[in-house]
Amino acid sequence: MGARADALTWGIAALASAGVLVRPWRLPEAIWAVLGALLLVLLGLLSPADALRAAARGTDVYLFLTGMMLLSEVARREGLFDFLAALAVRGARGSASRLFLLVYGVGTAVTALMSNDATAVVLTPAVLAAARAAGADPLPLLFACTFIANAASFLLPISNPANLVLYASQVPPLPDWLGHFILPSMASIGVTYAVLRWRERRRLRAPIHASPAADRLGAGGVTAALGIAATAAALLVASAAGWQLGLPTCLCGTATAAVVLVRKREAPWPVIAGVHWAVLPLVAGLFVLVQGLAGTGALAALAALLKSLSAVSATAAAWTAGAVLAVGCNLINNLPAGLIASTTAAAAQAPRPVRDALLIGVDLGPNLSITGSLATILWLVALRRDGLDVSFRRFLARGALVMPPALIAALAATLLTR
């Protein structure tokens, strides 16, 4: 590929990324990612076969998201989120700060056991319902939901699909994983909470009213809750066995929806219509754009640079790689960034400290901006569905405070695990 073609490929990728970030004319993010991918093919910068292969690399992610979105839609329709919201507000006992802590703690558990995307898809509607039930300002609680989705996403291998993308088929065994990432995770979770709690301190001073006793959960809601629990168990089993997570998640989500619909003798179309399917072409478009960039030789140059830096100092390479990737995720999203990092680290034969830093960067870095991770985009989609929106600038005003100290703390904690 010539220099002009390389420059054109980078220009298209940059414009597509900018479209995803800014959303000109308020068009969905998926349109810009897919349009960029189509331009690469139509201009002959990427063959149709290579584009299809690149899109197919995200199959496990598509299945995972499909299952999670089905679970979320069924749970929403069956009143599970409203039921949980009433319990949460009653547990807060009139304190917005206590409700904030409760949301943060539940978000940590959901992220660890079901992934950051599950926190965005499943927990966000419940948090919004809780805020409305309590008459509380919803934004601090919603920001807690999205920031913990990334901050806790390297507690376990299953906590973020980007973990599986980065390590590919070489995910470390669970004891080894915990030995390397438990301290960085605790640092990330603790610092993120402290900074975000300080940032939202004024909004959390207002009292909230206690929720009345929650109504009894119907059979459909109980089925949805059991489906979510079964999905969490399936993910843990699949992770321990080294299986991909997409198919078990999709099967659990589909089975849960089917059981609820059969019991109620309802058609599936309202549930299907309620799922935000545009997320899937967004992910596919991002994978194709990354494939186009790989054809320019940029990844080979990155691998050579990383290898030379690691030879001089693995510690310096780890800090540099983690910080650069953390920022880079916000330009192209962390899933394709994780794919780039995985390919680069393998080609550079990067030492374990560098790989650990790359993982932290790809998981935690997206807390800087609203398009850094798929989980944050899913969070934003959930808000828009309920008539709320958070601008890029508003998110960045918090992310610029929250992400850098958490990243520094997590990277520093990795030094204690060697």
Separation of alpha carbons 47 and 45, rounded Å: 7
Determine the average pLDDT of the residues in 231-239. 82
The band of 65, judged by pLDDT with boundaries at 50, 70 and 90, is confident
Report pLDDT digits (tens) over 191-233. Answer: 999 999 999 999 998 888 765 555 678 888 899 889 988 988 8
Per-residue pLDDT reduced to its tens digit, 89-99? 777 787 889 88
Q: What is the pLDDT of residues 7-52, one digit of tens each?
A: 898 889 888 877 877 778 878 878 998 999 999 999 989 999 999 9
Q: What is the mean pLDDT of the chain?
A: 86
Interior/surface letters 281-314, b for 16+ CB within 10 angstroms, e for the rest: bbbbbbbbbbbbbbbbeebeebbeebbebbeeeb
pLDDT-derived band of residue 168, with 50, 70 and 90 as boundaries? low
Contact 35, 16 (CB under 8 A): yes
- Decide: 362 and 341 in contact? Cβ < 8 Å: yes
Q: 């600038």: which residue's tokens?
A: 393
Q: Are 40 and 9 in contact (CB under 8 A)?
A: yes
Dig out the tokens for 305 from the structure. Answer: 């640079």
Q: Do 288 and 40 touch, CB atoms closer than 8 A?
A: yes
Nearest Cα residue to 34 out of 367, 337, 277: 277
Residues found in the chain = 418
pLDDT the model gives residue 223: 92
**What is the full DSSP assignment across 257-305?**
HHHHHHHHT--SHHHHHHS-TTHHHHHHHHHHHHHHHHTTTHHHHHHHH
Mean pLDDT of 133-150: 91
- Average pLDDT of the residues in 127-149: 89
- Read off the pLDDT of each residue in 115-144 and give the average, rounded to a whole number: 85
